Amino acid sequence: MKLKTWLTVAATALTIFAAQAQEMSNDEIADRIKPLGKVHVAGAAAQGDTAAAGGAKSGEDIYNSACVACHSAGVLGAPKFQVAADWQPRLDDRGLDGVWKNAINGINAMPPMGTCGNCSEDDIKAAIEYMIEGI
C-alpha cells in the first residue's frame, strides 16, 4: 500500500471512530464511569469506618491537623511543641493525666479537645504524647 493510500485509510478510520464516540449518549457515558464511582465511594466509607474506630490516626497526624496552629508558635501562651521549659512545670504539677484532662475539658484559651471534633480522648492523649516526646 502506498503511503498516501494508507494515510487516507487511517484518516477515514479515525473519522468513523470519532463519530462513534460522539454518538455516545450521556447515559452511556454515565454507565461507563459508574463502577469507578462506586469503588471510590466504597473506599471513602471504609476509611471513615477506620477513623471512627480510632485506628487510623497517629498522635503526629492529630497534632498536625488540630493542635499545630497554637502549639507550634505558642499562640495565647500555649505550651510549645517539644519545648521542655513550657511543658515540664505543667507535668510536674499535674502529671500526664492532669494535662490530658485539661485538654479534654479545655482550660483558659485552650479549647476543649483542642477543637478536634472527631478525636477520641485517646487521640488527644496520643497528640499530647507526641508534643512532649523527648522532653
Contact set with ligand HEC (CB under 6 A): 62, 66-67, 69-71, 75-79, 90, 94, 98-99, 102-103, 107-111, 114-116, 124, 127-128
Query: Based on CB atoms, which residue is closest to ligand HEC, 37 or 98?
Result: 98
Query: Based on CB atoms, which residue is closest to ligand HEC, 28 or 92?
Result: 92
Set of cell numbers at residue 58: 497517629
Buried b (16+ CB within 10 A) or exposed e, 105-127: eeeeebeebbebeebeeebbbbb
Give me the residue label for grid cell 469506618. 49
Query: Based on CB atoms, which residue is closest to ligand HEC, 84 or 109?
Result: 109
Smallest gap, in angstroms, from Cβ of residue 134 to ligand HEC?
16
DSSP 56: S
